């Protein structure tokens, strides 16, 4: 393990703290946790699903950190208090998603090992940026690209799975992510008149970096040559996935960015259609 890295591990404190958490999100315990049936899934698919859902828990954990950082930036730039209040819910949503994904990984046989540097969970804006531009950068990267893109992919995975528990988990996450995906465009509507041409150039470059990072992950999406519906423990078949991902990156990320005066295309190193 690299110096400064730790294993990605999760825990619950329990007692009154957990009871308060359950009161905030009672729907978690109402999901059909005892219904997972792996009898028709291949061992390779189960092994891949363990890794996939562990990685999903880790990514949701990182997104929780991004939501918290964005919330602090929104307060610093004196965003409207109702907008700040809306964003304050997102970190809780992400912690719920962490639990959902982690519990699925456990039911599939246990989490896969992931090591990471907890001091570098997310990329923060440069300290010399104004509070408004710093907030805008976080919103563009984390919401206008990351969260907006996740919704159609999660929805496609929800349609693809036949397992009641996995479908319920994905359905719960999709419901939360709908508000997350809309938030970026709400913020850009508010901040529009405060952005200079240089600010827009900076945000366009940040969007390009984030979109490139998304495309860079595509070759690592697990693909099974002979997978069946029962093997898809939370994902679409490869052909459907890449079709949804490419269309969505164009329709729900690039086109709205262009409509808000941000153009990442000149700065992208990767092609959406490659």
d(CA 164, CA 271): 36
Dihedral pair phi/psi, residue 6, rounded to 5°: -130, 160
d(CA 7, CA 107): 20
- Mean pLDDT of the 30-58 span: 93
Q: What is the mean pLDDT of the chain?
A: 94
d(CA 148, CA 144): 6
Query: Percentage of the chain with pLDDT > 70?
Result: 96
Q: What pLDDT is recorded for position 22?
A: 97
Q: What pLDDT is recorded for position 237?
A: 81
- CATH superfamily ID and name for 6-267: Ferritin, core subunit, four-helix bundle (1.20.1260.10)
Per-residue pLDDT tens digits for 166-193: 999 999 999 999 999 999 999 999 999 9
Closest CA to 54 of 133, 6, 109: 109
Please say whether the beta carbons of 105 and 54 come within 8 A. yes
Q: What pLDDT is recorded for position 119?
A: 93
Q: What pLDDT is recorded for position 226?
A: 60
Name the 3-class secondary structure at 125.
coil
Lowest mean pLDDT among 25-29, 37-41, 58-62, 195-199: 37-41
Query: Which are the contacts of 227, defined by CB distance < 8 A and separation ≥ 6?
Result: 42, 45, 237
Domain ranges of the chain: 6-267
Query: Which are the contacts of 7, defined by CB distance < 8 A and separation ≥ 6?
Result: 1, 113, 114, 115
Q: What pLDDT is recorded for position 133?
A: 98
Per-residue pLDDT tens digits for 219-232: 777 665 566 666 77
Q: What is the pTM of this model?
A: 0.94
């Amino acid at each position: 393990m690299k110096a400064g890295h730790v294993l990605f591990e999760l825990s619950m404190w329990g007692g009154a703290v957990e009871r308060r958490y359950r009161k905030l999100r009672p729907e978690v315990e109402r999901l059909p946790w005892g219904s997972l049936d792996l009898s028709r899934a291949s061992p390779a698919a189960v092994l891949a699903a363990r890794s996939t859902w562990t990685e999903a828990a880790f990514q949701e954990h990182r997104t929780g950190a991004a939501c918290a950082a964005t919330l602090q930036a929104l307060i610093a730039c004196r965003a409207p208090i109702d907008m700040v209040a809306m964003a304050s819910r997102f970190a809780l949503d992400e912690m719920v998603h962490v639990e959902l994904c982690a519990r699925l990984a456990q039911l599939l046989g246990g989490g896969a090992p992931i090591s990471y540097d907890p001091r570098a969970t997310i990329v923060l804006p440069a300290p010399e940026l104004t509070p408004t531009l710093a907030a805008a950068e976080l919103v563009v990267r984390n919401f206008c690209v990351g969260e907006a893109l996740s919704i159609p992919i999660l929805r496609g995975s929800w349609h693809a799975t036949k397992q009641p528990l996995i479908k319920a988990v994905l359905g719960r996450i999709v419901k939360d992510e709908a508000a997350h995906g809309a938030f970026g465009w709400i913020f850009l509507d508010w901040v529009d008149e405060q952005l200079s041409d240089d600010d827009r150039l900076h945000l366009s470059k940040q969007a390009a970096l984030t979109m490139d990072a998304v495309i860079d992950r595509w070759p690592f999406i697990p693909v099974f040559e002979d997978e069946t519906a029962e093997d898809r423990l939370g994902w679409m078949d490869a052909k459907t996935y890449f079709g949804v991902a490419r269309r969505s990156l164009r329709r729900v990320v690039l086109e709205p960015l262009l409509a808000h005066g941000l153009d990442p295309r000149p700065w992208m190193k990767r092609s959406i259609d490659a």
